[in-house]
Amino acid sequence: MAFRAPVADHRFVLDHIVGFAQVAATDRFADATVEMVDAILTSAARLADEVLAPVNRSGDKTPARLENGIVRTSPGFAEAYRAIAEGGWVSVAATSEYGGMGLPMTLATVVNEMMSGACIALQLNPLLTQGQIEALEHHASDELKALYLPKLISGEWSGTMNLTEPQAGSDVGALRSTAVENEDGTFAVTGQKIFITWGDSDVTSNVCHLVLARLPDGGPGTKGISLFLVPKFIPDAQGNPGRRNALQVVSLEHKLGIHGSPTCVMQYDGATGWLVGARHKGMAAMFTMMNNARLAVGAQGVGVGEAALQHALTYAEARVQGPTPTGEAGIIGHADVRRMLAATRADLFSARAIALSCAVALDMAKATGAPEWHARAALLTPIAKAFGTDAGIAAAEAGIQVHGGMGFIEESGAAQYLRDVRITAIYEGTNGIQAMDLVGRKLSDGGEAAFRLIQEVQDHAEGARARLPDLAGDVWAAAESLREATEWLLTRAPNDRFAGAVPYLRAFARVLGSDAHLRAALADDARLPLARIAIRRLLPEHQGLLAEVREGAEGLYAVTAADLAA
């Protein structure tokens, strides 16, 4: 499938929307010069367009398979992965101490989005490795860092995370995997894990698993869980893959999409592992990996949505079905088709801006240590993950609709985007859980971080009234409604908050996205038509969403199981 990484749009968002210049101005990221950014974007786009996109269809049609206990990947994946590794794309944001580029997370997010749009099934491999690198950098011993980080950063080895078990999905504390300390200080890890993305493959020489398990003295729930690094092959004295560890792939999941990504059921039978972080503090270490993954998954949604929109636009320009009001030959001239394409483009721009705003906040937090940046990154993470993936799913669904009957035919290629992107709203914490996190933990500061962000939107809208009074007024008013809804939520019991969490998150995203479009229109007059789509057609949705927020939980529980079954 043809795909072109949206380099110009990324440059525009970095320069005019999210304030990337302040990241490059820090001592920590002084290497992120204009020339460096341009080189990263151009090279990553070439990789996505010319190497990854051509194998996307083969991954769908010829899925990964399990043969004699070994996972065989889709045709072309090994060669494409090698290009990713050799180009250093696994380690854009990894520490330079062990061979990484040491560049901002913002640039890594841009690269991840481009690679996701080209081939999400393959991009999942380096994504998981990046998360493991981050977790080891923060929590592993110096010995583990020295042995594993160079191999992971180079892409010679890959990484996974093992949380979910058949009886323990979102309720991670219900896990049954155990770990017992050996005489040499290692641990014997036993248990079964499911939904392990890229749990095995033939594209790297070793697969390193981060596994959550409970020590004998670990208490119940998440507070008693520890984290262990369990490699497929135990490194020998020279640091090379040695003897096979006591773990195996039991089976591969048969999935709706991302067929080229092997999703494994993993069995550990006293496998040798090493403790990462403190005993019984495994969730803290794992969350380092998961939080980065949540932002990356939001970018995945945007990337696949971008590919779906490009595919639909190409079809809409070529497909002829009757005369159009514009005189254009293709169905793009029909009002409803134009509506779908314009709304999709507007939402993807909003989602991209939110994701990169989150990445900038993460970079500024790392560079400055300022608590305000940490709070902003924490607040934006669930919004970036949930809205980015929702926007990607909506884009893929609209892409099928634009194709009409041909969209329902696999040969057109439109259906793959929806099948592939649908998982992004589920893994790394469902979007409902992201929303609950937003109205729960992320408002536990009394709403300080949220109110600060809302005020910035209003201040910017106030300053824009002279040039774009109608659009600026709409954005200001929507932000004020969001402020009032936030104040209301802070007075409510937890379950009332949770009942309105999803519409609240979406309303928040609508306001942030409209602010991004307003900034875009002020920076470039050519962006004004799309800004009008976002602010006049899409932003009004926030009113209904915030009305739902205020309904609380009572009405939901008035509906009984019998009512639902009727």
Q: What is the DSSP letter of 48?
A: I
Phi/psi of residue 396, nearest 5 degrees: -70, -40
Sign of CA dihedral 471, 474, 477, 482: negative
CB within 8 Å of 347: residues ≥ 6 apart: 305, 391, 394, 395, 513, 534, 538
As a whole number of angstroms, the distance between CA 398 and CA 407 comes to 10
| Phi-psi label, residue 492: left if phi above 0, alpha if psi -120 to 50, beta otherwise | beta
- Rounded to a whole number of angstroms, the CA Rg of the chain reads 24
User: Which residue type occupies 320?
Assistant: V
Q: What is the DSSP letter of 211?
A: E
Reading the block at residue 186, the tokens are 């290692």
**Could you give the 3-state DSSP secondary structure of residue 281?**
coil
Chain centre to alpha carbon of residue 35: 27
Strand partners, 230: 209
Q: Which helix (H) or strand (E) holds 231?
A: strand 225-231
372 is catalytic: no
HEC-encoded secondary structure of 65-85:
EEECCEEECCCCHHHHHHHHH
Surface-to-core class of residue 9, CB atoms within 10 Å of its CB (0-12 exposed, 13-18 middle, 19+ buried): middle
As a whole number of angstroms, the distance between CA 53 and CA 60 comes to 12
As a whole number of angstroms, the distance between CA 363 and CA 29 comes to 8
Strand partners, 231: 208
Q: Which helix (H) or strand (E) holds 477?
A: helix 469-489
Active site residue: 428, 448, 548, 554, which one?
Answer: 428
As a whole number of angstroms, the distance between CA 61 and CA 119 comes to 13
DSSP 513-538: HHHHHHHHHHH-GGGHHHHHIIIIII
Catalytic residues: 428
